[in-house]
Amino acid sequence: MPFTIGNDTFKKLGAIGTLANLLIYVTTVFNVKSITAATMINVFNGTKNFGTLVGAFLCDTYFDRYKTLLFIKGLLAIQLTAAIPELHPHRCAAKESGECEGPTARQLPFLLIGLGLMIVGARGVWPCNLAFGVGQFNPKTEVGKRRIDSFFNWYFFTFTFAQMVSLTLIVYIQSNVSWAVGLGIPATLMFIACVVYFVGSKIYVKVQATGSPMTSVAQVIVVAIKKRKLKPVEQSWLSLFRYFPSKSINSKLSYTDHFRFLDKAAIVTPQDEIKGDGSPADTWRLCSLQQVKELKCLFRVVPIWVSQIMYCVTLVQLHNYAVFQVVQSDRRLGNNNFKIPAASYVIFMMLSLTIFMPVYD
């Protein structure tokens, strides 16, 4: 656990340390208009989040989690190249007049390439990191269950810690000292994360790729459609195909009578062949009851997931609006010349959540 948590802490400090102030960087250093910058960052974040689906699929299907992290980790260092003076416009001294020099035909593509490489790196790291950490413990033992709970606690503690440090110290250095130094710190932290990761590589439990859950979802839907004309069986929990791999790290799910049309995917017909170990010969013709249960669980989660879309849209707009409002405000603290960085004001939203979450609970 120490190597996994240590690696994750430095990785979050490196990633959040750059992403937290990216909106200010694009508007002040690249002289991009606020609306264009907000659109650019929103597209970047949205693509990065959806990219995790691709990264998770490749991880589960073709690579194990260890190899995926090993291959993609170094790509996030590309964010440091945005601080090279030759790769961004000259400093604008008359920003209020709107006469600032924008990025050239070479500078803007280089920035977009850097953001693109960050997306490639993020979509391989984010979905694998948590799963890789949980995979270090045996969920079938009491000790393993306790350690998994402890790992989750430390995982989210490091996330909060990384956000607090990034939104205060690193953002302040970027905004008031030097962008080159401020972007160099996250790159250095990311390098340290790689070192910590490699140091513990010999003692990791490396779970081999066993197939993507998305493949199982597709199989159940396809087979259920193929067998849609079959009559439902009596006592489905006893009559359906109940194969469960002996080496599976997943827990058996309880049967529910919701979405019963999916049960047809686990009906055994004379045309279905079964191997000696009890597994189906063709998983695109016969699915196990466990696969059907997993898809039912997914369907039950979909309404909750959809309801979060508008919340996330509002949260993104709130972040952009707050940052741009703060940029135009008097951010001096007291009678001295100390200015609170604009991106640091996001921390007040975090503090509000921290304070009111126990009250809500």
For residue 7, being part of any structural domain is answered with: yes
What single-letter DSSP state applies at residue 280? B
Numbers of helices and strands, H then E, in the chain: 12, 0
Range of the domain at 52: 1-209
Q: How many CB atoms lie within 10 A of CB 182?
A: 22
For residue 357, being part of any structural domain is answered with: no
Query: Angle 12-17-20 (CA atoms, 0-180°, nearest 5)?
Result: 110
Q: What is the pLDDT of residues 163-213, one digit of tens each?
A: 888 888 888 888 888 888 888 888 788 778 777 777 777 777 776 666 677
Q: Which residues contact 276 (CB under 8 A, 6 or more apart)?
A: none
**Domain check: are 39 and 98 in the same one?**
yes
**Domain check: are 196 and 234 in the same one?**
no
Is there a contact between 190 and 41 (Cβ–Cβ < 8 Å)?
no
**Domain check: are 184 and 218 in the same one?**
no
* 3-class DSSP state of 274: strand
- Tell me the whole-structure pTM to 2 decimals: 0.73
**Domain check: are 93 and 183 in the same one?**
yes
Is there a contact between 161 and 6 (Cβ–Cβ < 8 Å)?
no
Query: Angle 213-142-210 (CA atoms, 0-180°, nearest 5)?
Result: 20
- Which amino acid is located at 306 in the chain? V
**Domain check: are 148 and 165 in the same one?**
yes
Q: How many CB atoms lie within 10 A of CB 113?
A: 12
β-bridge mates for residue 243, sequence order? none
**Domain check: are 7 and 40 in the same one?**
yes
Distance CA(141)–CA(236), nearest Å, equals 30
When divided into structural domains, the chain yields a total of: 2
Q: How many CB atoms lie within 10 A of CB 302?
A: 9
CATH of the domain at 41: 1.20.1250.20
Question: What is the full per-residue pLDDT of the chain (361 aa) written as tens digits?
Answer: 666 777 677 777 777 777 788 888 888 888 888 888 888 888 888 887 777 777 666 665 655 544 444 444 444 555 666 667 777 787 776 555 556 778 888 888 878 877 777 777 666 666 677 777 777 887 778 888 888 888 888 887 888 888 888 888 888 888 888 888 888 888 788 778 777 777 777 777 776 666 677 888 999 999 999 999 998 877 766 778 888 887 776 778 888 888 889 999 999 998 888 888 888 889 899 999 889 999 999 999 999 988 888 888 887 777 788 888 888 888 887 777 788 888 888 787 777 766 776 676 5
**Domain check: are 69 and 142 in the same one?**
yes
